[in-house]
Amino acid sequence: MNYTLHQLMIFLKITETSSITKAAEELHLTQPAVSIQLRNLQDQFEIPLTEVVGRKLIVTDFGWEIAAAAEKIIEEVQGINYKTAAFKGLMSGKLKISVVSTGKYVMPYFLSGFLKQHPEVDLKLDVTNKAKVLESLSTNEVDFALVSKMPETINVEGIELMPNQLCLVGNKDFELSKKLYDEGVFEEITLIYREEGSGTRLYMERYLNEKKVSVRKKIVLTSNEAVKQAVLAGMGCSIMPLIGIKNELKAGSLKIIPVKDLPIETQWNLIYLKGRKFSPVGKLYLDYLKQHKDELIKENFA
């Protein structure tokens, strides 16, 4: 047996993605390079690691056994790296965080100072939809997840980072004829929604249902950035997190439409599985947040 750590890492990524193409993308390698490494690893075993059924890659039972062993080997190697760095007076390792799409406007400000203090730390920040964020957390693929609504189906703990305000927003051409609108304004505008499963959409629909509002016309878009661009273009209005439109509000290209019982107040939470055993990097980052959270909010969001 002369398989390499590189081959095991690639195989582990293949089992995670069930795809050579996706594994290549996530590892920033070419598809032929990943295929070659899989073939070289397979040559070490008489029993197949994978099978192709139709056009789909299937990991065999034996392959899953090898993947589990590979994961343990890689964790041990990372442990050696942590200890080596510790003796050098450095902290190294991986910090993996998954955030909902609007969270990309928040999370970097809570990471920048930490990464400057610990330049040996590698960060993997995945920005995706709420369902995938919670899936990656529940399957232990990430250390932390940033959400604006606490999950009800996963047992988690977390840190409250900062408030999240959702306001009705229109573009610069929206004529503010009233100092304060009632909920009837929603029957007069085209309302732009986020996709099903979005936390922002959940809070928006809850508000509309409580007010018994009948929306005249709606558009559905699949990201906060797409919603923002649509509002800027005058396609309609939307209830949006203020954190993602600070620059546009300052420039005057977007404006807040004052409506009774808005803004909706939610909370950004950095969560993790209850009872999770953190790596040294994960524990260090948790301690960093607890110590510096308030000053980071004051410095970046006041």
pLDDT in the model for residue 9:
92
**Rounded CA separation 124/127 (Å):** 10
For the whole prediction, is pTM greater than 0.95? Answer: no
pLDDT in the model for residue 200:
87
pLDDT in the model for residue 107:
94
Classify residue 278 by burial, with Cβ atoms within 10 Å: 0-12, 13-18, 19+: middle
Chain mean pLDDT for the chain: 89
pLDDT in the model for residue 155:
92
- Tell which residue, 198, 186, 197, 199, has the closest CA to residue 238: 186
Q: What Cα–Cα distance (Å) separates residue 176 from each residue in 49, 183, 189?
A: 64, 15, 13
Residues 6+ apart with CB under 8 A from 260: 180, 181, 182, 183
pLDDT in the model for residue 87:
57
pLDDT level of residue 67 (50, 70, 90 thresholds): very high
